[in-house]
Structure 1
Amino acid sequence: MTEEVLAGGLANAGAVVRRGDVVDRPAPAPAAALHAHFRALRERGFDGAPTPLGRSADGSREQLSYVPGDVPLPPFPAWSMTDEALRSVGRLLRRLHDAAPDVPQDADWSREFADPEGGPVLCHNDVCPENVVFRAGRAAALIDFDMAAPGRPVWDVAITARYWAPMLDPASAAARRFPPDLDPAHRLKVLADAYDLSPADRAALPALVEQATQGARAFVARRLAEHAPAFTKAHEARGGWPSWDRLQTWLAERRGEFEAALRR
Protein backbone atom coordinates (compact mmCIF):
# COMPACT_ATOMS: atom_id res chain seq x y z
CA MET A 1 0.00 0.00 0.00
CA THR A 2 1.27 3.47 -0.90
CA GLU A 3 2.57 5.52 2.01
CA GLU A 4 2.03 9.27 2.25
CA VAL A 5 3.99 11.33 4.74
CA LEU A 6 1.57 13.85 6.23
CA ALA A 7 2.53 17.37 7.22
CA GLY A 8 2.82 17.08 10.99
CA GLY A 9 3.63 19.75 13.55
CA LEU A 10 7.14 20.69 14.56
CA ALA A 11 7.40 17.82 17.03
CA ASN A 12 6.23 15.07 14.64
CA ALA A 13 7.48 16.45 11.32
CA GLY A 14 8.11 13.60 8.89
CA ALA A 15 6.92 10.92 11.35
CA VAL A 16 3.19 10.83 10.52
CA VAL A 17 2.35 8.40 7.70
CA ARG A 18 -0.93 7.63 5.95
CA ARG A 19 -1.63 4.19 4.51
CA GLY A 20 -5.06 4.25 2.91
CA ASP A 21 -7.57 5.05 5.64
CA VAL A 22 -5.04 4.55 8.46
CA VAL A 23 -2.71 7.13 9.97
CA ASP A 24 0.37 5.74 11.72
CA ARG A 25 2.06 8.22 14.03
CA PRO A 26 4.18 8.49 17.20
CA ALA A 27 2.03 7.60 20.19
CA PRO A 28 1.80 10.18 22.99
CA ALA A 29 2.36 9.00 26.55
CA PRO A 30 -1.37 8.83 27.43
CA ALA A 31 -2.30 6.97 24.21
CA ALA A 32 -4.34 4.31 26.04
CA ALA A 33 -6.35 6.94 27.92
CA LEU A 34 -6.78 9.02 24.76
CA HIS A 35 -8.06 6.05 22.77
CA ALA A 36 -10.61 5.33 25.48
CA HIS A 37 -11.59 9.00 25.39
CA PHE A 38 -12.07 8.94 21.62
CA ARG A 39 -14.33 5.91 21.90
CA ALA A 40 -16.37 7.56 24.65
CA LEU A 41 -16.75 10.75 22.59
CA ARG A 42 -18.10 8.72 19.67
CA GLU A 43 -20.56 6.93 21.96
CA ARG A 44 -21.78 10.36 23.09
CA GLY A 45 -22.40 11.48 19.51
CA PHE A 46 -19.21 13.47 18.83
CA ASP A 47 -17.77 12.47 15.46
CA GLY A 48 -15.13 15.19 15.22
CA ALA A 49 -12.10 13.17 16.38
CA PRO A 50 -10.15 10.24 14.92
CA THR A 51 -11.17 6.66 15.63
CA PRO A 52 -8.46 4.65 17.44
CA LEU A 53 -7.42 1.51 15.56
CA GLY A 54 -4.53 0.18 17.61
CA ARG A 55 -0.95 0.58 18.74
CA SER A 56 2.36 -1.02 17.87
CA ALA A 57 3.59 -3.93 19.99
CA ASP A 58 6.05 -1.71 21.85
CA GLY A 59 3.50 1.10 22.27
CA SER A 60 5.69 3.65 20.50
CA ARG A 61 3.27 4.27 17.63
CA GLU A 62 -0.51 4.47 17.29
CA GLN A 63 -2.91 3.86 14.44
CA LEU A 64 -5.88 6.18 13.97
CA SER A 65 -8.50 6.57 11.27
CA TYR A 66 -7.65 9.07 8.56
CA VAL A 67 -9.94 12.11 8.85
CA PRO A 68 -10.72 13.41 5.33
CA GLY A 69 -11.01 17.10 4.60
CA ASP A 70 -8.96 20.26 4.22
CA VAL A 71 -6.38 21.35 6.81
CA PRO A 72 -5.18 24.97 6.48
CA LEU A 73 -1.42 25.36 6.45
CA PRO A 74 0.66 28.55 6.34
CA PRO A 75 0.30 30.81 4.48
CA PHE A 76 -3.26 30.36 5.65
CA PRO A 77 -5.76 30.49 2.76
CA ALA A 78 -8.41 33.19 2.80
CA TRP A 79 -11.28 30.69 3.14
CA SER A 80 -9.89 29.43 6.45
CA MET A 81 -9.72 32.89 8.03
CA THR A 82 -13.29 34.03 7.44
CA ASP A 83 -15.60 34.80 10.36
CA GLU A 84 -17.79 31.85 9.37
CA ALA A 85 -14.82 29.46 9.47
CA LEU A 86 -13.94 30.84 12.90
CA ARG A 87 -17.53 30.41 14.13
CA SER A 88 -17.41 26.79 13.04
CA VAL A 89 -14.22 26.29 15.07
CA GLY A 90 -15.94 27.71 18.15
CA ARG A 91 -18.98 25.49 17.66
CA LEU A 92 -16.81 22.40 17.15
CA LEU A 93 -14.86 23.12 20.33
CA ARG A 94 -18.09 23.54 22.28
CA ARG A 95 -19.38 20.21 20.93
CA LEU A 96 -16.13 18.55 22.02
CA HIS A 97 -16.42 19.89 25.55
CA ASP A 98 -20.14 19.14 25.86
CA ALA A 99 -19.59 15.52 24.81
CA ALA A 100 -16.54 14.98 27.02
CA PRO A 101 -16.86 12.11 29.51
CA ASP A 102 -15.29 12.13 32.96
CA VAL A 103 -11.52 12.39 32.66
CA PRO A 104 -9.17 10.05 34.54
CA GLN A 105 -6.98 12.51 36.38
CA ASP A 106 -4.18 9.99 36.98
CA ALA A 107 -3.34 9.33 33.30
CA ASP A 108 0.01 10.56 31.99
CA TRP A 109 -1.46 13.65 30.35
CA SER A 110 0.83 16.22 28.78
CA ARG A 111 1.71 19.16 31.03
CA GLU A 112 3.10 21.29 28.19
CA PHE A 113 0.02 23.48 27.58
CA ALA A 114 -2.17 22.19 30.40
CA ASP A 115 -4.46 24.44 32.42
CA PRO A 116 -2.46 25.23 35.59
CA GLU A 117 -5.67 25.02 37.61
CA GLY A 118 -6.73 21.69 36.13
CA GLY A 119 -10.39 21.01 35.53
CA PRO A 120 -13.13 18.53 34.70
CA VAL A 121 -12.87 18.43 30.90
CA LEU A 122 -10.18 16.98 28.65
CA CYS A 123 -9.01 20.06 26.78
CA HIS A 124 -7.34 19.67 23.38
CA ASN A 125 -4.88 22.49 24.20
CA ASP A 126 -3.57 22.82 20.63
CA VAL A 127 -6.47 23.86 18.39
CA CYS A 128 -4.27 25.62 15.84
CA PRO A 129 -5.33 25.83 12.17
CA GLU A 130 -3.06 22.90 11.32
CA ASN A 131 -5.03 20.68 13.75
CA VAL A 132 -8.51 21.45 12.41
CA VAL A 133 -10.04 19.52 9.51
CA PHE A 134 -12.53 21.47 7.39
CA ARG A 135 -15.18 20.27 5.01
CA ALA A 136 -17.03 22.69 2.74
CA GLY A 137 -15.36 25.58 4.58
CA ARG A 138 -16.48 24.56 8.06
CA ALA A 139 -14.57 22.93 10.90
CA ALA A 140 -15.55 19.26 11.06
CA ALA A 141 -12.91 17.55 13.19
CA LEU A 142 -9.88 18.00 15.42
CA ILE A 143 -6.67 16.01 15.12
CA ASP A 144 -3.41 15.73 17.09
CA PHE A 145 -4.52 15.47 20.71
CA ASP A 146 -0.93 15.03 21.96
CA MET A 147 -1.20 18.09 24.25
CA ALA A 148 -4.59 17.12 25.71
CA ALA A 149 -4.97 17.42 29.48
CA PRO A 150 -7.70 18.02 32.07
CA GLY A 151 -8.69 21.66 32.41
CA ARG A 152 -11.38 24.29 32.32
CA PRO A 153 -13.18 24.71 29.00
CA VAL A 154 -12.37 28.44 28.96
CA TRP A 155 -8.66 27.55 29.04
CA ASP A 156 -9.11 25.64 25.77
CA VAL A 157 -10.97 28.64 24.34
CA ALA A 158 -8.06 30.92 25.33
CA ILE A 159 -5.52 28.71 23.57
CA THR A 160 -7.77 28.45 20.53
CA ALA A 161 -8.09 32.25 20.45
CA ARG A 162 -4.30 32.61 20.50
CA TYR A 163 -4.13 30.65 17.25
CA TRP A 164 -7.29 31.79 15.51
CA ALA A 165 -7.88 35.48 16.29
CA PRO A 166 -4.88 35.39 16.24
CA MET A 167 -3.89 37.02 19.53
CA LEU A 168 -0.65 38.26 18.02
CA ASP A 169 0.82 41.68 17.39
CA PRO A 170 0.98 42.54 13.65
CA ALA A 171 4.65 41.63 13.24
CA SER A 172 4.19 38.27 14.94
CA ALA A 173 1.06 37.52 12.89
CA ALA A 174 2.96 38.29 9.68
CA ALA A 175 5.85 36.04 10.73
CA ARG A 176 3.36 33.19 11.18
CA ARG A 177 1.89 33.97 7.74
CA PHE A 178 -1.59 35.06 8.77
CA PRO A 179 -3.51 37.42 6.46
CA PRO A 180 -2.72 41.06 7.36
CA ASP A 181 -6.31 42.30 7.70
CA LEU A 182 -7.52 40.24 10.68
CA ASP A 183 -8.92 42.19 13.66
CA PRO A 184 -8.03 40.26 16.85
CA ALA A 185 -10.59 42.01 19.07
CA HIS A 186 -13.42 41.36 16.61
CA ARG A 187 -12.38 37.75 16.04
CA LEU A 188 -12.01 37.10 19.76
CA LYS A 189 -15.67 38.07 20.15
CA VAL A 190 -16.68 35.95 17.14
CA LEU A 191 -15.06 32.92 18.76
CA ALA A 192 -16.59 33.61 22.19
CA ASP A 193 -20.06 34.10 20.66
CA ALA A 194 -19.84 30.91 18.60
CA TYR A 195 -18.74 28.95 21.66
CA ASP A 196 -21.50 30.65 23.70
CA LEU A 197 -19.02 31.60 26.39
CA SER A 198 -20.54 32.70 29.70
CA PRO A 199 -20.20 36.31 30.96
CA ALA A 200 -17.81 35.20 33.70
CA ASP A 201 -15.59 33.33 31.25
CA ARG A 202 -15.65 36.28 28.83
CA ALA A 203 -14.37 38.52 31.60
CA ALA A 204 -11.54 36.08 32.35
CA LEU A 205 -10.59 35.31 28.74
CA PRO A 206 -8.09 38.12 27.88
CA ALA A 207 -6.02 37.48 31.01
CA LEU A 208 -6.07 33.73 30.29
CA VAL A 209 -4.78 34.41 26.78
CA GLU A 210 -1.85 36.24 28.37
CA GLN A 211 -1.27 33.36 30.77
CA ALA A 212 -1.42 30.80 27.95
CA THR A 213 1.07 32.91 25.97
CA GLN A 214 3.49 32.81 28.88
CA GLY A 215 3.05 29.03 28.97
CA ALA A 216 3.78 28.81 25.24
CA ARG A 217 6.95 30.85 25.77
CA ALA A 218 8.08 28.44 28.50
CA PHE A 219 7.35 25.52 26.15
CA VAL A 220 9.59 27.03 23.47
CA ALA A 221 12.33 27.64 26.05
CA ARG A 222 12.25 23.95 27.00
CA ARG A 223 12.51 22.85 23.37
CA LEU A 224 15.43 25.22 22.76
CA ALA A 225 17.20 23.90 25.86
CA GLU A 226 16.88 20.43 24.31
CA HIS A 227 18.44 21.78 21.09
CA ALA A 228 15.43 20.68 19.03
CA PRO A 229 16.36 21.77 15.48
CA ALA A 230 12.83 22.42 14.19
CA PHE A 231 11.97 24.64 17.17
CA THR A 232 15.28 26.48 16.98
CA LYS A 233 14.71 27.27 13.30
CA ALA A 234 11.12 28.45 13.88
CA HIS A 235 12.14 30.52 16.91
CA GLU A 236 14.82 32.36 14.96
CA ALA A 237 12.58 32.85 11.92
CA ARG A 238 9.91 34.47 14.10
CA GLY A 239 12.25 36.96 15.72
CA GLY A 240 13.57 35.16 18.79
CA TRP A 241 12.94 36.35 22.34
CA PRO A 242 12.41 40.03 21.37
CA SER A 243 9.30 38.93 19.47
CA TRP A 244 7.93 37.25 22.62
CA ASP A 245 8.64 40.39 24.66
CA ARG A 246 6.84 42.49 22.06
CA LEU A 247 3.87 40.13 22.01
CA GLN A 248 3.44 40.06 25.78
CA THR A 249 3.61 43.86 25.92
CA TRP A 250 1.06 44.14 23.11
CA LEU A 251 -1.37 41.77 24.85
CA ALA A 252 -1.13 43.65 28.16
CA GLU A 253 -1.61 47.04 26.50
CA ARG A 254 -4.69 45.89 24.58
CA ARG A 255 -6.35 43.90 27.35
CA GLY A 256 -8.94 46.64 27.94
CA GLU A 257 -9.85 46.66 24.24
CA PHE A 258 -10.33 42.90 24.26
CA GLU A 259 -12.44 43.03 27.41
CA ALA A 260 -14.65 45.74 25.87
CA ALA A 261 -15.11 43.75 22.64
CA LEU A 262 -16.19 40.68 24.60
CA ARG A 263 -18.78 42.73 26.54
CA ARG A 264 -20.39 44.12 23.41
Structure 2
Amino acid sequence: MHALLAHLRRVGFDAAPEPLGMDAQGRAVLKFIPGDVHQGWPEPMPSWVYEDDVTLAGAAELLRRYHDLLARFTPPPDARWRIIAPGAHEVICHNDWAPYNALFDGHLPIAMLDWDSAGPGSRVWDVALSAYTWVPLYPKLDSSNNQVVPLPMRASRLAMFCAAYRGVEPSEVLETLVPQLRFLADFIQAEADAGDPGFAKLAAWDAPARARERATLIRDQTNLLLGRA
Protein backbone atom coordinates (compact mmCIF):
# COMPACT_ATOMS: atom_id res chain seq x y z
CA MET A 1 0.00 0.00 0.00
CA HIS A 2 2.85 2.38 0.83
CA ALA A 3 4.49 1.78 -2.56
CA LEU A 4 1.20 2.52 -4.31
CA LEU A 5 0.59 5.75 -2.39
CA ALA A 6 4.20 6.84 -2.92
CA HIS A 7 3.81 6.29 -6.68
CA LEU A 8 0.61 8.32 -6.75
CA ARG A 9 2.37 11.17 -4.99
CA ARG A 10 5.25 11.05 -7.50
CA VAL A 11 2.92 11.27 -10.50
CA GLY A 12 0.98 14.19 -9.06
CA PHE A 13 -2.15 12.47 -7.76
CA ASP A 14 -3.02 14.62 -4.75
CA ALA A 15 -6.30 12.82 -4.08
CA ALA A 16 -4.71 10.15 -1.89
CA PRO A 17 -2.91 10.48 1.45
CA GLU A 18 0.85 10.95 1.34
CA PRO A 19 2.69 8.13 3.18
CA LEU A 20 5.05 9.37 5.89
CA GLY A 21 6.33 6.04 7.20
CA MET A 22 5.40 3.62 9.96
CA ASP A 23 4.90 4.14 13.68
CA ALA A 24 6.36 2.04 16.50
CA GLN A 25 3.44 -0.40 16.27
CA GLY A 26 4.00 -0.95 12.55
CA ARG A 27 1.00 1.11 11.49
CA ALA A 28 1.07 3.34 8.43
CA VAL A 29 1.43 7.06 9.11
CA LEU A 30 -0.27 9.25 6.51
CA LYS A 31 -0.27 13.00 6.00
CA PHE A 32 -3.45 14.80 7.02
CA ILE A 33 -5.65 16.13 4.22
CA PRO A 34 -8.21 18.81 5.15
CA GLY A 35 -11.82 18.18 4.18
CA ASP A 36 -15.12 16.73 5.33
CA VAL A 37 -15.95 13.06 5.88
CA HIS A 38 -19.40 11.47 6.02
CA GLN A 39 -19.31 7.95 7.44
CA GLY A 40 -23.04 7.29 7.20
CA TRP A 41 -23.03 5.95 10.76
CA PRO A 42 -24.36 6.70 13.33
CA GLU A 43 -25.69 9.70 11.39
CA PRO A 44 -27.18 8.86 7.97
CA MET A 45 -25.24 9.85 4.87
CA PRO A 46 -26.32 13.33 3.68
CA SER A 47 -29.06 12.99 1.07
CA TRP A 48 -27.14 15.10 -1.45
CA VAL A 49 -24.53 12.33 -1.74
CA TYR A 50 -27.13 10.34 -3.68
CA GLU A 51 -28.84 13.28 -5.38
CA ASP A 52 -26.17 15.73 -6.56
CA ASP A 53 -24.93 15.01 -10.10
CA VAL A 54 -21.70 16.90 -9.38
CA THR A 55 -20.93 14.53 -6.51
CA LEU A 56 -21.58 11.43 -8.62
CA ALA A 57 -19.60 12.62 -11.64
CA GLY A 58 -16.76 13.79 -9.41
CA ALA A 59 -16.46 10.33 -7.84
CA ALA A 60 -16.30 8.64 -11.25
CA GLU A 61 -13.82 11.16 -12.65
CA LEU A 62 -11.53 10.77 -9.64
CA LEU A 63 -11.55 6.99 -10.06
CA ARG A 64 -10.71 7.34 -13.77
CA ARG A 65 -7.86 9.72 -13.01
CA TYR A 66 -6.48 7.29 -10.45
CA HIS A 67 -6.63 4.35 -12.85
CA ASP A 68 -4.95 6.30 -15.65
CA LEU A 69 -2.00 7.21 -13.42
CA LEU A 70 -1.23 3.54 -12.72
CA ALA A 71 0.25 2.91 -16.18
CA ARG A 72 3.79 3.30 -14.89
CA PHE A 73 3.29 1.61 -11.51
CA THR A 74 5.09 -1.68 -10.93
CA PRO A 75 4.26 -3.27 -7.57
CA PRO A 76 7.30 -4.34 -5.53
CA PRO A 77 8.08 -8.08 -5.63
CA ASP A 78 7.05 -8.51 -1.99
CA ALA A 79 3.74 -6.64 -2.38
CA ARG A 80 0.91 -8.20 -0.40
CA TRP A 81 -2.70 -7.45 -1.25
CA ARG A 82 -5.77 -8.13 0.86
CA ILE A 83 -8.05 -8.64 -2.15
CA ILE A 84 -6.93 -10.08 -5.49
CA ALA A 85 -9.80 -9.97 -7.96
CA PRO A 86 -10.44 -12.90 -10.30
CA GLY A 87 -9.83 -12.31 -13.99
CA ALA A 88 -7.66 -9.69 -15.66
CA HIS A 89 -5.28 -7.56 -13.59
CA GLU A 90 -5.09 -4.22 -15.42
CA VAL A 91 -4.78 -1.90 -12.45
CA ILE A 92 -4.51 -1.85 -8.68
CA CYS A 93 -8.15 -1.49 -7.68
CA HIS A 94 -9.06 0.65 -4.69
CA ASN A 95 -11.78 -1.92 -3.97
CA ASP A 96 -13.69 0.32 -1.56
CA TRP A 97 -14.18 3.67 -3.29
CA ALA A 98 -17.41 4.71 -1.63
CA PRO A 99 -18.95 7.83 -0.07
CA TYR A 100 -17.86 6.69 3.39
CA ASN A 101 -14.24 6.54 2.16
CA ALA A 102 -14.27 9.95 0.47
CA LEU A 103 -13.01 13.32 1.60
CA PHE A 104 -15.30 16.13 0.47
CA ASP A 105 -14.98 19.82 -0.24
CA GLY A 106 -18.63 20.82 -0.10
CA HIS A 107 -20.41 18.30 -2.31
CA LEU A 108 -17.31 17.40 -4.35
CA PRO A 109 -15.21 14.33 -3.50
CA ILE A 110 -11.58 15.46 -3.48
CA ALA A 111 -9.65 12.52 -2.02
CA MET A 112 -9.83 8.74 -1.75
CA LEU A 113 -9.32 7.30 1.74
CA ASP A 114 -8.84 3.82 3.25
CA TRP A 115 -6.53 1.98 0.85
CA ASP A 116 -6.26 -1.20 2.94
CA SER A 117 -8.35 -3.24 0.48
CA ALA A 118 -6.40 -2.20 -2.65
CA GLY A 119 -5.32 -5.04 -4.92
CA PRO A 120 -4.92 -6.21 -8.52
CA GLY A 121 -7.99 -6.33 -10.73
CA SER A 122 -9.61 -4.94 -13.84
CA ARG A 123 -10.86 -1.40 -14.37
CA VAL A 124 -14.45 -2.60 -14.66
CA TRP A 125 -14.10 -4.51 -11.36
CA ASP A 126 -13.25 -1.25 -9.56
CA VAL A 127 -15.86 0.74 -11.50
CA ALA A 128 -18.58 -1.78 -10.66
CA LEU A 129 -17.91 -1.81 -6.93
CA SER A 130 -17.64 1.99 -6.90
CA ALA A 131 -20.89 2.45 -8.82
CA TYR A 132 -22.55 0.03 -6.39
CA THR A 133 -22.04 2.45 -3.50
CA TRP A 134 -22.06 5.84 -5.25
CA VAL A 135 -25.17 5.37 -7.43
CA PRO A 136 -26.18 3.35 -5.31
CA LEU A 137 -27.31 0.11 -6.97
CA TYR A 138 -29.48 -0.99 -4.05
CA PRO A 139 -32.76 0.72 -3.08
CA LYS A 140 -32.67 1.25 0.68
CA LEU A 141 -29.93 3.55 1.95
CA ASP A 142 -30.12 3.54 5.71
CA SER A 143 -32.29 1.68 8.20
CA SER A 144 -32.47 4.71 10.49
CA ASN A 145 -34.25 6.97 8.02
CA ASN A 146 -35.71 4.47 5.51
CA GLN A 147 -34.51 6.59 2.58
CA VAL A 148 -35.09 4.80 -0.72
CA VAL A 149 -33.57 5.49 -4.15
CA PRO A 150 -36.22 4.71 -6.81
CA LEU A 151 -35.18 2.30 -9.54
CA PRO A 152 -35.46 4.85 -12.41
CA MET A 153 -33.14 7.14 -10.47
CA ARG A 154 -30.67 4.31 -9.95
CA ALA A 155 -30.73 3.59 -13.69
CA SER A 156 -30.06 7.19 -14.68
CA ARG A 157 -27.32 7.59 -12.08
CA LEU A 158 -25.61 4.39 -13.24
CA ALA A 159 -25.54 5.75 -16.79
CA MET A 160 -24.17 9.06 -15.50
CA PHE A 161 -21.43 7.38 -13.46
CA CYS A 162 -20.28 5.33 -16.47
CA ALA A 163 -20.37 8.37 -18.76
CA ALA A 164 -18.24 10.36 -16.32
CA TYR A 165 -15.72 7.52 -15.97
CA ARG A 166 -15.66 6.95 -19.77
CA GLY A 167 -15.11 3.64 -21.53
CA VAL A 168 -17.20 1.34 -19.35
CA GLU A 169 -20.84 0.61 -20.16
CA PRO A 170 -23.62 0.15 -17.58
CA SER A 171 -24.18 -3.38 -18.91
CA GLU A 172 -20.53 -4.24 -18.14
CA VAL A 173 -20.92 -2.89 -14.61
CA LEU A 174 -23.97 -5.01 -13.86
CA GLU A 175 -22.50 -8.09 -15.52
CA THR A 176 -19.43 -7.72 -13.30
CA LEU A 177 -21.22 -6.71 -10.12
CA VAL A 178 -23.46 -9.74 -9.60
CA PRO A 179 -20.64 -12.33 -9.34
CA GLN A 180 -18.45 -9.71 -7.67
CA LEU A 181 -20.84 -9.30 -4.74
CA ARG A 182 -21.00 -13.07 -4.32
CA PHE A 183 -17.20 -13.26 -4.43
CA LEU A 184 -16.94 -10.57 -1.75
CA ALA A 185 -19.59 -12.25 0.40
CA ASP A 186 -17.54 -15.46 0.38
CA PHE A 187 -14.33 -13.49 1.00
CA ILE A 188 -15.73 -11.62 4.00
CA GLN A 189 -17.06 -14.82 5.54
CA ALA A 190 -13.78 -16.69 4.97
CA GLU A 191 -11.74 -13.88 6.54
CA ALA A 192 -14.15 -13.72 9.48
CA ASP A 193 -13.90 -17.48 9.99
CA ALA A 194 -10.10 -17.14 9.92
CA GLY A 195 -10.28 -14.70 12.83
CA ASP A 196 -9.84 -11.30 11.20
CA PRO A 197 -11.55 -8.87 13.65
CA GLY A 198 -12.60 -6.35 11.00
CA PHE A 199 -14.23 -8.95 8.79
CA ALA A 200 -15.71 -10.68 11.83
CA LYS A 201 -17.51 -7.44 12.59
CA LEU A 202 -18.81 -7.24 9.01
CA ALA A 203 -20.00 -10.83 9.21
CA ALA A 204 -21.73 -10.10 12.52
CA TRP A 205 -23.56 -7.27 10.75
CA ASP A 206 -24.77 -9.80 8.13
CA ALA A 207 -22.70 -8.20 5.36
CA PRO A 208 -22.22 -11.50 3.45
CA ALA A 209 -25.94 -12.29 3.43
CA ARG A 210 -26.78 -8.71 2.46
CA ALA A 211 -24.29 -8.81 -0.43
CA ARG A 212 -25.81 -12.04 -1.75
CA GLU A 213 -29.33 -10.64 -1.47
CA ARG A 214 -28.33 -7.51 -3.36
CA ALA A 215 -26.58 -9.57 -6.04
CA THR A 216 -29.84 -11.40 -6.65
CA LEU A 217 -31.81 -8.14 -6.68
CA ILE A 218 -29.43 -6.53 -9.18
CA ARG A 219 -29.54 -9.63 -11.39
CA ASP A 220 -33.34 -9.55 -11.38
CA GLN A 221 -33.46 -5.80 -12.08
CA THR A 222 -30.73 -5.68 -14.74
CA ASN A 223 -33.04 -4.94 -17.67
CA LEU A 224 -34.78 -2.16 -15.75
CA LEU A 225 -31.44 -0.67 -14.63
CA LEU A 226 -30.40 -0.60 -18.29
CA GLY A 227 -33.63 1.08 -19.37
CA ARG A 228 -35.04 -2.03 -21.03
CA ALA A 229 -38.71 -2.20 -20.21
Are the structure 2 counterparts of residues 140 and 244 from structure 1 closer, same or farther at C-alpha, using a change threshold of 3 Å? closer
- Paired with 2:162 and 2:146, the residues of 1 have a C-alpha distance of 20
Q: How many residue pairs align between the two structures?
A: 217
TM-score normalised by L of structure 1: 0.73
Matches within 5 A, 1:66-215: 66-74=32-40, 75-81=44-50, 82-100=52-70, 101-104=72-75, 106=77, 107-111=79-83, 114-168=84-138, 170-171=139-140, 173-175=141-143, 179-181=147-149, 183-198=153-168, 201-215=169-183
Alpha-carbon shift at residue 212 of structure 1 (Å): 1.7
Alpha-carbon shift at residue 231 of structure 1 (Å): 2.3
8 A contact 1:161–1:209 mirrored in 2: no
- Paired with 1:64 and 1:193, the residues of 2 have a C-alpha distance of 32
Q: Equivalent pairs: percent with the same residue?
A: 29
Whether 2:12 is the aligned partner of 1:42: answer no
1:190-247 C-alpha deviation (Å, 9 max, x unpaired) = 110111134xx54421111112211221133224425645324422xx7x83x44532
TM-score normalised by L of structure 2: 0.83
8 A contact 1:125–1:156 mirrored in 2: yes
8 A contact 1:103–1:120 mirrored in 2: no
- Paired with 1:142 and 1:177, the residues of 2 have a C-alpha distance of 26
Q: Which runs of 5+ in 1 are unaligned?
A: 1-33
Aligned to 2:221: 254
8 A contact 2:178–2:219 mirrored in 1: yes
Find the partner of 1:63 among 19, 24, 29: 29
1:64-89 C-alpha deviation (Å, 9 max, x unpaired) = 01121111221110232222211110
- The letter of the residue matching 2:172 is A
Find the partner of 1:222 among 180, 190, 209: 190
- Paired with 2:28 and 2:142, the residues of 1 have a C-alpha distance of 35
8 A contact 2:189–2:203 mirrored in 1: no
3-state SS in 1 of match to 2:148: coil
8 A contact 1:54–1:63 mirrored in 2: yes
The 4+ residue runs of structure 1 with deviation greater than 6 A are: none
8 A contact 1:223–1:231 mirrored in 2: no
3-state SS in 1 of match to 2:205: helix
Matches within 5 A, 1:225-236: 225-226=193-194, 228=197, 230-235=201-206
Alpha-carbon shift at residue 57 of structure 1 (Å): 4.6
- The letter of the residue matching 1:56 is D
Are the structure 2 counterparts of residues 176 and 224 from structure 1 closer, same or farther at C-alpha, using a change threshold of 3 Å? farther
Q: Which runs of 5+ in 2 are unaligned?
A: none
